[in-house]
Every structure is written in structure tokens, then in C-alpha cells.
């Protein structure tokens, strides 16, 4: 009998080597089944702290807890076999010190089997990124609009429109890349800035509301599938699952109420 070997997972160094090569495909995933469906199409599956909003109905990413990230990280790793799985470090679990960040990141990687972690912040997080990478933890950085800092930023508006903001975000991107990040998410930054960052740093940029000229793209999978009424400017809906689910649920309800389901073929 011939046994097929499972595909080897993509690694953080392999993603880093994709700079200016074939675009990197990244989507969020929070469940084993969704990870299973996305795995063959994606290079990276991100267990984002957006799970707090998408799965649990919170108004921001801030309520995401460490246990929440670990539970969903475990599920996504179990459901996938090819893509690099990256797990967000939740708010309040890494900002205090590099040692705190290492304790959080090492626990996530140990308990989930993920291949990397992601954290938000630029220059202020450079020391932490260096500390983690020197201790064997690959880090994906995140600059521009950083949702965990929404209360400081004052909302979810695009970043980099003013000269000061533009320069600060550019400095952030350079700092995290030089600190050892294997890739950098650039969220909701003006296109000129996204292009400048992509040209300036030696690791891949992953855009979300940024530019097609980034080295890769990421979306929240539920936004991409049209699961919510909201439709941010940077989201392209590749399907309309909300309507399809509504129609399917309506057909089911009608069949149950009309005694058309279950039929004899559905009964034991």
C-alpha cells in the first residue's frame, strides 16, 4: 500500500523569501473547517484577534483573550496542513515588556502548533520583535491602522494622509523590518505610502486597504465572503454568503413548517 505524505507546511522564512515574487495569499481563519477549506488556496492563515468581532460579536478586537486565541489557533492548525498559521498576540499580553511578549508568544506556539505570531506596533515594538526572533519565534509585524490602538487613533480612518503620519508609519515599517519581522502587514495606509514601504523594506508587505503593489494581500474571510452588511472600501466581496444562508434557512423553515422535511429517505 502506498501512503501519501502530507504536504510540508510553508514556513516563515519561505514567506520572507517571497519578496517581489509570486504574491502572498493570506486570509483569516478561526475554525477547523474553514481552515480546511482555505488551506489549499492560501499561503498564510491568520488567526486574527478579529475573532472577537467575527465570532463573538464584540465591537472591537480588544476583548480577544489569550485563551480565545489559543483555542481558535489550535482549531486552525488541526484543520490545515499546508499554510503557515499565524496567531495574533491579543491586546494587553505583550506590550509591557519583551519578556511578557515572549511568555505569551511561546505559550501560543507551544499550545497551538502555529508557525508564527503577529503583533501590532512599529518603532515601539522593534525591541520586542528582535527579542522574540532571537529566541526562535517568527514575528509578523503590523503597521498603519492598528485596531488594538483604535482608542488612541480615534477610529478606523485611513492612515498616512498627513506628512507627519506618513513619516511616522514609514519609520515604523523600517524599524520592525530591521528588527527581524519576516513580513509586515500594512493596513489602511494611503497607496503611495504602501508602495514606498514595499520598496524600502527587505521583507514582504501584506496589504489590507493599501496597494496591489504590496507583496501580498489579506482580508477577513467573513468580509470576503459577504457575511456582514458592512462593506469597507478595501473589501471586495467574492461571494454573498449572507444572502445564501438566509435563503437556505428560509427554505428549511418552510419545509419544516409544511411537514415537507424530513421525508422517508431522511428517517431511520
Is the residue at 261 inside a domain?
A: no
The residues, ordered by sequence, that sit 6+ positions from 250 with a Cβ below 8 Å of its Cβ are: none
- What is the model's pLDDT at position 156? 82
CA separation for the pair 178, 173 (Å, rounded): 9
* 73 assigned to some structural domain: yes
List the CATH number of the domain containing 135. Answer: 3.20.20.60
Q: How many other C-beta atoms are found inside a 10 Å radius of the C-beta of residue 175?
A: 22
Residue 244 counted as domain residue: no
Any known ligand binding at 43? Answer: no
Q: pLDDT for 180-190, tens place per residue?
A: 999 999 999 99
Tell me the per-residue pLDDT of 94-141, one tens digit each, with 9 for 90 and over.
Answer: 999 999 999 999 999 999 999 999 999 999 999 999 999 999 999 999
205 band by pLDDT with thresholds 50, 70 and 90? very high
The single residue of 187, 191, 192, 254 carrying the catalytic annotation is: 187
User: Which pLDDT belongs to residue 4?
Assistant: 54
Residue 50 marked ligand-binding: yes
Within-domain flag for 66: yes
How many domains would you assign to the chain?
Answer: 1
This prediction has a pTM of: 0.94
Residue 6, C-alpha cell as written in the block: 502530507
Whether 187 is catalytic:
yes
Domain hosting 208: range is: 12-239
In a domain, 89, yes or no: yes
Residue 247 lies in a domain: no
**Residue 36 annotated in ligand binding:** no
Is residue 183, in this structure, part of any structural domain at all?
A: yes
Residue 233 lies in a domain: yes
All cell numbers assigned to 96? 509591557
Sign of the dihedral through C-alpha 244, 85, 218, 142: positive
C-alpha cell at 7: 504536504
* Summary mean pLDDT of the chain: 95
Amino acid at each position: 500500500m502506498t501512503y501519501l505524505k502530507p504536504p510540508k507546511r510553508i514556513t516563515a522564512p519561505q514567506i520572507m523569501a517571497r519578496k517581489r515574487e509570486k504574491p502572498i495569499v493570506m486570509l483569516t481563519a478561526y475554525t477547523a473547517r474553514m481552515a480546511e477549506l482555505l488551506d489549499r488556496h492560501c499561503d498564510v492563515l491568520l488567526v486574527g484577534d478579529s475573532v472577537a468581532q467575527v465570532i463573538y460579536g464584540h465591537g472591537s478586537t480588544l476583548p480577544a483573550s489569550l485563551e480565545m486565541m489559543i483555542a481558535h489557533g489550535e482549531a486552525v492548525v488541526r484543520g490545515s496542513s499546508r499554510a503557515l498559521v499565524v496567531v495574533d498576540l491579543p491586546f494587553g499580553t505583550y506590550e509591557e515588556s519583551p519578556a511578557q511578549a515572549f511568555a505569551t508568544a511561546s505559550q501560543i506556539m507551544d499550545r497551538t502548533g502555529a508557525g508564527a505570531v503577529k503583533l501590532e506596533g512599529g518603532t515601539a515594538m522593534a525591541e520586542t520583535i528582535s527579542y522574540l526572533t532571537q529566541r526562535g519565534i517568527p514575528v509578523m509585524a503590523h503597521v498603519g491602522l492598528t485596531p488594538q490602538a483604535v482608542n488612541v487613533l480615534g477610529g478606523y480612518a485611513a492612515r498616512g494622509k498627513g506628512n507627519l503620519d506618513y513619516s511616522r508609519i514609514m519609520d515604523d515599517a523600517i524599524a520592525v523590518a530591521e528588527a527581524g519581522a519576516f513580513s509586515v502587514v500594512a493596513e489602511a495606509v494611503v497607496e503611495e505610502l504602501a508602495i514606498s514601504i514595499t520598496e524600502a523594506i527587505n521583507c514582504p508587505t501584506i496589504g489590507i486597504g493599501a496597494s496591489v503593489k504590496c507583496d501580498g494581500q489579506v482580508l477577513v474571510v467573513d468580509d470576503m465572503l459577504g457575511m456582514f452588511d458592512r462593506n469597507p472600501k478595501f473589501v471586495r466581496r467574492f461571494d454573498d454568503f449572507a444572502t445564501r444562508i438566509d435563503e437556505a434557512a428560509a427554505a428549511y423553515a418552510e419545509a419544516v413548517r409544511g411537514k415537507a422535511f424530513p421525508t422517508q429517505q431522511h428517517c431511520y
